[in-house]
Amino acid sequence: MQDLTVTTLLAVFEEIFGPLLFWAMVVAAAVITALYIYVLIRDRSVSWKKFLWAQFSMPFGAIAAVLFVQTMTRSGFSDIGGPIDLVVLLGVAAGGAVGMAVCIYTIQSLFWPPAPHS
């Protein structure tokens, strides 16, 4: 692979996850992001209690993301070969942690909206 382009990345991700699962994940991420923006605009403020619970979920999201990618790539922790592998693994963990926090905050805000102001 000589050039790293968006098309190349899409092809690699489709190869790893399969086209159906990959595009389902893209759609799910887009929907959750749109709902997150909606609740932020609707509530006009961040609920720090909900934000704290969302932060508690972050380690679980990081672990789940790493295990999911390890399963999909049919590799294990013994296959980590160098610094770039560790950087990618940490990036996957960070993405999973942030994604889980956004998802949990959004779900909480949708099901338990703030009380209306008098």
Domain residue extents for the chain: 6-111
Distance CA 38, CA 118 (A): 22
| Lowest pLDDT segment from 24-28, 81-85, 90-94, 104-108 | 81-85
* Strand locations in 6-85 (E): none
DSSP symbol at 77: G
pTM of the predicted model, to two decimals? Answer: 0.83
Q: What is the pLDDT of residues 13-56, one digit of tens each?
A: 898 888 999 999 999 999 999 999 999 999 888 888 999 999 99
